[in-house]
Amino acid sequence: MKNIDQDIQDYFETIKTFRRHVHANPEVGPENPKTVQYVKSQFENLKDITIVHGAENAGVMIEITCSEQGPTIGFRGDMDALNLCESSCETHLPQKENFRSHDENKMHACGHDMHTAILIGFGHIIHAKRHNLKGKVRLLFQPGEEGYGGAKKMVDASYLQGVQNVFALHVWPNLEVGQIGFRRGPFFASVDHFLVKVNGTGGHGASPEKASDQILAVSSMISNLQSILARKISGLDQRVLSIGYINAGNKTAKGVLPKTAEFGGTFRTFDENVQAKIKEELKNICEHTAMAIHDDCKVEIEYTNSYPQTVNDETMAERLETVFSTFIEDENLFTDYTPTLGAEDFSFMLKEVPGVLFLVGTTPSDMPEEKRVFLHNPTYSPDERALLYGVQAFKKIAFDFLEKK
């Protein structure tokens, strides 16, 4: 940790307590009220602090006023967890250190507990240094990133009004502790969610000819949808289709052909024209497949353009190359990192204000490849030393933009 500022190193244990509290008390959805209250409690008694909270599902904005007038720079940290049962394995750090999730059906498996702790810790560090800075630092504690568009709610609540630039990080297990990755331009993909419902005539398993068999219809649709990627979209275009939900019938009535069946999933891409093509082809394939199975199969489709592409501002990304090189060695700073087909609602903020989303490594360098897991895994346990690099990165950005010359 030789390149981490001493004030951050001295604060490490406290930042860990922020992370462990949030990890043990996960909240899912668009509100995260307990986490919001916890965040507010960390700043309520400090001077030169403005706390804005109250807009529906928009989290909390905390602004630090520095000693002189200047620009306002925003920093986003998302707070929500996932519906996931956390590992209770004795080697799992939260289990060993007694901060495993208190809710068996919720877990911070995407690292948002790390993001929240980093933003709180950064806020305290910058607050202590505010007399060396000009302008304002705006901390954006965002709920509902996991499918609820919390970033757009913050935009709609005018929390970015007056902000010159905005930055966010995401912890990343494909990078090691001490490594940072980002790129200019498109970085995270857009994501569209869809739900396909098929209604028809139910019946007896012994007489399928008297029913329209909605299970056969949806299973055929799922198979046929892959032809969109294989034959309707150029192989040069990055895109992926994933089915994450299917439901039909009752496991206690296996001889009954249900009258309804449904499935859902996501499409991800980096091209708006591909987005439009996929939406059109999804409708065509599902309707024609249903018709081929039975005239009574009727299709309903719910399709949502959820998150746009996350596009890093090229000028800001170039500037961060210089900022990060002050504490990250060349071999650990990846400025042309491979884009991911994951999606991020920070994209809504970047459509309003130029900025950058970057990745902070969380995997120990000595961890064997076969033991490394990605996000949304019940055993995901980031190396907490990554908190230091997250706070350091935000601090370096703030000083680069706001330090008195």
Dihedral pair phi/psi, residue 225, rounded to 5°: -65, -25
Q: Where are the beta strands (DSSP E) in 272-313?
A: 298-307, 310-312
* Predicted pLDDT of residue 41: 97
pLDDT for 53: 96
Whether pLDDT at 236 is above 80: no
Average pLDDT over residues 90-94: 95
- Whole-number pLDDT of residue 233: 81
Are residues 84 and 378 in contact, defined by beta-carbon separation less than 8 angstroms? yes
For 92-97, which contacts have Cβ atoms below 8 Å and span 24 or more sequence positions?
92/379, 92/381, 93/381, 94/20, 94/23, 94/24, 94/381, 97/20
pLDDT in tens, 214-228: 999 999 999 999 988
- pLDDT tens per residue, range 34-61: 999 999 999 999 999 999 999 999 999 9
Confidence grade of residue 5 (pLDDT, cut at 50, 70, 90): very high
Distance between alpha carbon 296 and the CA centroid of its chain, in Å?
40
Residue 141 pLDDT > 80: yes
CB 95 within 8 A of CB 87: yes
Helix (H, G, I), strand (E, B) or coil at 355: strand
Q: 68, 404 in Cβ contact below 8 A?
A: yes
String of b and e for 88-121 (b: at least 16 CB within 10 Å)?
eeeebbbbeeebbbeeeebbbbbbbbbbbbbbbb
Task: Identify the structural domains of the chain with CATH numbers, from first to last.
Answer: 6-187+309-402 (3.40.630.10), 190-307 (3.30.70.360)
